[in-house]
Chains A and B, each alone.
Chain A
Amino acid sequence: MAGKPARPTNAIDQTRRMLSLVTYLRERPGARVGDVARAFGITEDELISDLDVLPLCGTSFRGGDLLDIDTDGDRIWWHNPDDVAEPLRIAADEATALLVAARAVSTLPGLREGDRQALLRATAKVEAASGEAAGASSRLSVTFESEGGVFADVDRAISERRRLWIRYYSPSRDELSEREIDPIRLVSVGHTYVEAWCRRSEARRTFRLDRVAEIRILDEPSAPPEVELRDLSEGLVQPAAEDPEVVVEVGPGGRWVAEYYPHDSADELPDGGLRITLRTPDPTSLRRLALRLGGDGRIVSPEDLADSARSAAREALAAYDAPDGLEGVEDRPYEGREQGL
């Protein structure tokens, strides 16, 4: 299933799952493998490997008190069900994981009100059932950022399968552009994004909701081509191997670059800085980064990118050096400090 990372089997998770499975199976003689796997959010293979272990478990391997659970690959039978299998109370980490996530989702601006209410009711019930175990969940919290109005429109367009018109801001070119998009899904990872088929570029694109300046739901039906959903858990920006390489050297004050930009390598420099190698489909988009870094770093390569940042800075400085270049502000006194380069 899309977006659901495969996890290696962990003995604690598997034990926890098998304990619940036993309880579940007691109530449902002849349960189908496919249904049980779905209810437990696992693959059929994972379920079958649990069913291989269960008949080896019991209160004593000598007395023959083993769980007589077997399957023909389609249905599952437990021939000697006993009362050991009662629903177990929720552990502290389980309560934390579920409650923190539920609270985070319930604060997503733009979430459908019905869903929000259902989440809040469920959260309260799980809290009550967890008792003391719920206490530590207040020590973790997560905020998803979203633009509520834009979110609601995208959500509606997805459920009604309609096309959207947006005016979208692109930071790399510092410009707004109009496009029609067929929305596919909403993804929140800190910020919220809509993944869509962009009719202008005829390609899949991801748009950050807080950069949508205007949005309208169109009457045309949305018809995104069948695309395989990417696993976005490793980040939305996934540079391709063939993208051009950019090398940036930063001082200690520019180390944040390594935190914000996905990169191939970040090597320590003797002054406490970093030499960062990254790839981007459009190196000119990094001119902003070069300008932002100021004295805290510089573009090492490509050379023309470094040049374009330098000339942008010179052009900008000219406005401060020549007050007459600024219509309408001649009457404002300029402070000292700009004595040319």
Chain B
Amino acid sequence: MAIAKAERLMNLALCLLGTRRPLSKRELRESIEAYLEAGSDDSFNRMFERDKDDLRELGLVIETVENLDGEVGYLARRDSNRLPPITLDAEEAAALGLAAKVWQQARLAGAASGALQKLRAAGLPEDVDPYESHGALEPHIPVHEAAFEPLMLACRDRRPVVFDYRKATAVRPETRHVEPWALECWRGHWYLAGWDRDRGAERVFRLSRITGKVRARAGRYTAEVPDVVTVRETVAGWAGEITDRSALIRLRSGAGYPLRAKAVSVRELGGGWDELEIPYGHGLDAWLVEFGPDVVVVEPAELRADVVDRLRAVAKG
């Protein structure tokens, strides 16, 4: 039976951490059973390179050193791999325990528990059991979008990407070349901010509208990455939450609680109707139509016309 990958990685990690001098590939191959069984030099080399990358992924700093004979050796120095001293009290430990389980994305869930386990090994207190103490509060970070992981890696490594993106109202997706800056999750949906190379401007993309694969591209960023990337403001604008205008509507008494909750002022008109002044942002027309005959727009005229158009479309449907 083939030797399990975790066993092979563990052996490589222990060899590299345990040695005081760089070990050559040949030496490593002789010390690790799985490599001896690897067969050809080619398949060993491929396996070894992948394993080194995997160990670096989990945080191991592996140095490559050339010795006097020109032979390449590898080692993971203790001092560059040791966790600096960190002391956390029981409350802090419990708080981190709660944070470590919020990710619902396999890679980040694994990484978060990995971090907690390293801290645990370094003496993180266990008096308070982090997995039970906050039983009544469960924050989850949902990640349903397939584009999330490749974009997270691209943001991390600052790598340009290409993907097909379908704008909210577009019939067909369009190919976009983007230098990804940051990802943000708002109201359960993920957004990417970055430099759109074709448009020569900053853009925000909704991950659920990316169709097909995200492909990484070679090369550097051409635009400077801003110190602060604001995704939420842009998205809140789309959601109609940023507004400097207001509208006047009539609302049937007792109906439309969310409109009342947002209202700047409410005036009773009698006859079963109230008049409300509400903020007028993007998308208000579609929202008002949801209330059917319980809402009548008074002004502005532009909003009245939009609502009437929408109602006509439904009436004809």
> Closest CB-CB distance, A292 to chain B, in whole Å?
5
Task: Give B30's nearest chain A residue, CB to CB.
Answer: A62
B 232-263 binary contact with A (CB < 8 Å = 1; else 0): 10000000000000000010001111100100
Total A-B contacts with CB atoms under 8 angstroms apart = 432
Q: A58-B14, A105-B102 are in contact. Are A97 and B57 (CB under 8 A)?
A: no
* Residues of chain A lying within 8 A (CB to CB) of residue B122: 23, 87
- Contacting pair B120 A20 (CB below 8 A): yes
Q: Does B286 contact A (CB under 8 A)?
A: yes
- Using CB atoms, name the residue of chain A closest to B155: A139
Give the distance in Å from the alpha carbon of A211 to the alpha carbon of B109 in the complex: 30
- Provide the residues of chain A in CB contact with B84, threshold 8 Å: 89, 128-129, 131
Contact B140 A88 (CB under 8 A): no
Q: Does B215 contact A (CB under 8 A)?
A: no
Contact A143–B314 (Cβ < 8 Å) = no
B107 neighbours in A (Cβ, 8 Å) = 93
B110 touches A12 (CB 8 A): yes
Interface centre among B57, B60, B315 (most CB of A within 10 A): B315
Closest to A170 in B: B257
The complex places the Cα of A341 from the Cα of B165 at a distance, in Å, of 37
Minimum C-beta distance from A194 to chain B (A): 10
**B187 contacts chain A at the CB level, 8 A cutoff:** yes
The verdict on A200 contacting chain B, using a C-beta distance below 8 Å, is: no
B250–A329 CB distance below 8 A: yes
- CB of A341 within 8 A of CB of B315, answer yes
A174 at the interface (CB under 8 A from B): yes
Closest to B85 in A: A129
Does B317 belong to the interface (CB within 8 Å)? yes
A298 CA / B124 CA spacing, docked (Å): 57
State whether A89 and B82 are in contact (beta carbons under 8 Å apart), knowing that A174-B294, A189-B140 are contacts in the complex. Answer: yes
Taking the closest CB of chain B, its distance from the CB of A230, in whole angstroms, is 11
Contacts of A24 in B (CB 8 A): 117, 120-121
Known: A142-B185, A232-B138, A294-B313. A253 touches B96 (CB 8 A): no
Q: List A64-105 residues whose CB lies under 8 Å from chain B.
A: 67, 82, 84, 86-98, 100-102, 104-105
Q: Within 8 Å of chain A (Cβ to Cβ): is B1?
A: no
Q: Is A278's beta carbon under 8 Å from chain B?
A: no
A59 proximal to B (CB < 8 A)? yes
Asked whether B316 lies within 8 Å of A190 as measured between CB atoms, the reply is no
Interface bits A45-68 vs B (CB < 8 Å: 1, else 0) = 000000001101111111000010
Q: Does B7 contact A (CB under 8 A)?
A: yes
Which listed segment binds A: B38-46, B195-203, B216-224, B302-310?
A: B302-310
Q: Answer yes or no: A261 CB below 8 A from chain B CBs.
A: no
Q: Are A17 and B117 in contact (CB under 8 A)?
A: yes
Q: Which residues of A contact B289 (CB under 8 A)?
A: 291-292, 294, 313, 316
Closest residue of chain B to A42 (Cβ to Cβ) is B113
Known: A53-B6, A142-B184. A315 touches B293 (CB 8 A): yes
A223-B134 Cα distance, complex, nearest whole Å: 19
Q: Decide if B58 touches A16 in the complex (CB within 8 Å).
A: yes
Q: Once the chains bind, are B292 and A312 in contact (CB under 8 Å)?
A: yes
A57 close to B96 (CB less than 8 A): no
Are A139 and B121 in contact (CB-based, < 8 A)? no
Whole-angstrom CA separation of A56 from B33 in the bound complex: 10
How many Å lie between the Cα of A11 and that of B13 in the bound state? 13
Q: Is A310 an interface residue (CB 8 A)?
A: yes
Are B136 and A105 within 8 A (Cβ)? Answer: no
In A302-336, the 8 Å CB interface with B consists of 306, 309-310, 312-320, 326-329, 332, 334-335
- How long is the Cα–Cα vector from A203 to B168 in the complex, in angstroms? 38
Name the interface residues of B5-60: CB closer than 8 Å to any CB of A. 5-7, 9-11, 13-15, 17-19, 30-33, 54-55, 57-60
Asked whether, in the complex, the Cβ of B310 is within 8 Å of the Cβ of A295, the reply is: yes
Asked if A288 is at the interface (CB within 8 A of a chain B CB), the reply is yes
**B183–A174 touching, CB < 8 Å:** no
Q: Would you give the shortest CB distance from A14 to chain B, in whole angstroms? A: 4
Expressed in whole angstroms, the Cα–Cα distance for A175 and B256 within the complex equals: 7
Q: Is the CB of B155 within 8 A of A136?
A: yes
A18-B6, A143-B186 are known contacts. Are A94 and B15 too (CB-CB below 8 A)?
no
- Contact across chains for B141 and A101 when beta carbons are under 8 A apart: yes
Q: Is residue A13 contacting chain B, with contact meaning CB distance below 8 A?
A: yes
Does chain A have a CB within 8 A of B71?
A: no
CA distance A3 to B140 in the complex (A): 9
Instruction: List 11 contacting pairs A-B, 8 Å CB cutoff, sorted by A.
Output: A12-B54, A13-B114, A17-B117, A89-B82, A101-B112, A118-B89, A141-B183, A169-B258, A233-B142, A294-B289, A338-B308
Nearest 4 pairs between A and B by C-beta? Answer: A190-B188, A91-B59, A272-B171, A294-B310
Given contacts A93-B57, A125-B88, A188-B137, 8 further A-B contacts (CB under 8 A): A17-B114, A23-B121, A60-B31, A89-B61, A90-B83, A96-B108, A211-B258, A328-B275
Chain B residues within CB distance 8 Å of chain A: 3-7, 9-11, 13-15, 17-19, 30-33, 54-55, 57-61, 78, 80-89, 91-104, 106-123, 126, 129-131, 134-142, 152, 155-156, 166, 168-172, 181-189, 208, 231-232, 250, 254-258, 261, 269-271, 273, 275, 286-287, 289-296, 298-299, 301, 304-305, 308-317
